[in-house]
Amino acid sequence: TPLDFYLWGNVKDLVYRRIQPNLNTLWDEITTVCAEIPLQTLVTVTESVATRVQRCIDADGHQFEQLL
């Protein structure tokens, strides 16, 4: 899913650049980072899922990453 492939890894990298002293500031930083993700980035990530699904179908469920 887009959350697995892109969102969580990207958010985690951005949030953990700074040490968060407590859970409240950690939550606030996660919220801020998520709000700053450009809409076009989310659209692109979502569209890539459709591309991957189609490539998987085209490969009859076999390995297809080399086709991306």
Q: State pLDDT tens for residues 8-23.
A: 888 989 898 888 889 9
Residues 6+ apart with CB under 8 A from 59: 67
φ, ψ of residue 12 to 5 degrees: the values are -60, -45
User: What is the rounded average pLDDT of the residues 49-56?
Assistant: 85
Please give the pLDDT value at position 22: 92
* Cα separation, 68 vs 16, whole angstroms: 30
User: What is the rounded average pLDDT of the residues 27-38?
Assistant: 93
Please give the pLDDT value at position 67: 67
**Cβ proximity of 26 and 20 under 8 Å:** yes
Phi-psi region at 64: left, alpha or beta (left = phi > 0; alpha = psi -120 to 50): alpha
